[in-house]
Structure 1
Amino acid sequence: MENSNKFPQDIPLKSVWESFGIFVLIGFLMIVIFYGGNRIEYIRSLWKIDGLLDQVFSGCIIGILFAVIVVFLYKMKWIQLPKNEYTELIIQILKKRYGIVTIALGAGLSEEILFRGAMLGVLVSYFSPVFSLVIVSAIFMALHIPQYKGSVLIHVIIFIMGLGLGGLFLWTEALWAPITAHAVYNGFLSLLMKKNE
């Protein structure tokens, strides 16, 4: 009899997008529950279009910078992608049509709504920006522990990236820059993972 708890070898892209949708839903619920009477105004402010091109440009630069650093560390063999069921699953997703778009845009959008728009936005309304930024970056890193277990340096990089993405959010007071940075970073790394498979 086969074990029903066995880790899946493959996941349909529809299921991946549904899981991203859960992140978005949790993010919006957090805002509705914890943000108070200005929640609708706050949600609108996350998508303000004043300075949109500057925000997207800043996000591209930060995303490329993080990707270049990680590729350099990878080429120097200071970091290696752990071989585990999570990275294997990501590689399977990347092989699919629209797999790179799913990992880059889907994760970039959903994780930024949850971590920066909701968690960081809510925490900053109660605590200092620095404290809030560190806490949310630590939670962001913790989410990636199963995926990169066994590589402490990758976790450090993800924590620092969380600080950078959160910094972009606090600086622009909108989600465009962190979403762009996250999507660009994930896109470059997805291409690297697919190429090296």
Structure 2
Amino acid sequence: MEEDKKLPNDITLTSVWKSFSLFVIIAMIIIIVFHGEGRLTYIKHLWLSDAVHIDIVVGGFIGVGFTGLIVLLYYLTNLSLPKNEYTRLIRKMLYKKFGIFTIAFGAGFSEEILFRGAILGLLIMYIGAAPALLIVSFIFMALHIPQYKGNIFIHVIVFGMGMILGGLFIWTEALWAPVAAHVTYNGLMARLMKKQDQAQTVT
């Protein structure tokens, strides 16, 4: 409760983009520090793919599929976002100009660069793909705990999403597919949340 009281009543999109920029800066620091002389090659490799368009399409389909799964669970179970200060701020963002764009592209790009491009890519070098995937998916879930506190099932879903996004990165060896999946999922879920709020307001 004390943590909730420290949160502002609203948050500007500029502040949100600054947070996303911090993710990218941290990612670049990790890559620069731990990849040595191969750092520039690694950064370029994150965006090099023999089939960029295919990666984007595959990622987009997976994002749509994951959204469909969440919608299905919503109707079949009592799955819903917990009502806390974090989700309240997110809902406010939905109604800001470029709010949905920020949620989709800002989070999609910055989180993938940090979690998959930097942390997962680094851990794979030291401990292998499978354990690295598990660890990074857990860290990804842990980052979202404050946002979804009050619903353990959603934490499991976020962990599963982290596994899928990491799997896409390992499979394609680039960021296009996980970014496309993340952006698509965030964008669709944001749109659905806004429509749901508007429908509840009307009724």
* TM-score after normalising by structure 2: 0.93
How much does 1:75 deviate?
A: 1.9
Matches within 5 A, 1:9-88: 9-88=9-88
Structure 1 segments of 4+ aligned residues over 4 angstroms from their partners:
none
Which region of structure 1 is more displaced relative to structure 2, 38-47 or 70-79? Answer: 70-79
Letter in 2 for 1:22: L
Letter in 1 for 2:151: S
State the superposition RMSD in angstroms.
Answer: 1.0
Q: Structure 1 vs Structure 2: percent identity of aligned residues?
A: 55
Match in the other structure for 1:92: 92
Match in the other structure for 2:115: 115
In 1: Cα distance, 2:189 partner to 2:82 partner: 14
In 1: Cα distance, 2:35 partner to 2:66 partner: 31
1:132 maps to 2:107: no
Matches within 5 A, 1:143-154: 143-154=143-154
In 1: Cα distance, 2:105 partner to 2:127 partner: 30
Match in the other structure for 2:200: none
Letter in 1 for 2:154: I
In 2: Cα distance, 1:92 partner to 1:9 partner: 10
How much does 1:192 deviate?
A: 1.3
CA 1:128/1:49 → structure 2, altered by over 3 Å: closer, same or farther?
Answer: closer
How much does 1:49 deviate?
A: 4.2
How much does 1:53 deviate?
A: 0.5
In 1: Cα distance, 2:38 partner to 2:66 partner: 34
How much does 1:26 deviate?
A: 0.3
Match in the other structure for 2:155: 155
In 2: Cα distance, 1:103 partner to 1:166 partner: 20
* TM-score after normalising by structure 1: 0.96
In 1: Cα distance, 2:77 partner to 2:99 partner: 26
In 1: Cα distance, 2:137 partner to 2:78 partner: 22
Match in the other structure for 1:165: 165
Name the SS for the 1:125 alignment partner: helix
Deviation per CA, 1:40-91: give whole Å up to 9, x if none. 1000000114210010011011101110001111122331110000000000
Which region of structure 1 is more displaced relative to structure 2, 69-78 or 35-44? Answer: 69-78
Name the SS for the 2:79 alignment partner: coil
Name the SS for the 1:126 alignment partner: helix
Deviation per CA, 1:144-188: give whole Å up to 9, x if none. 000000111111010010000000000111101000000000011
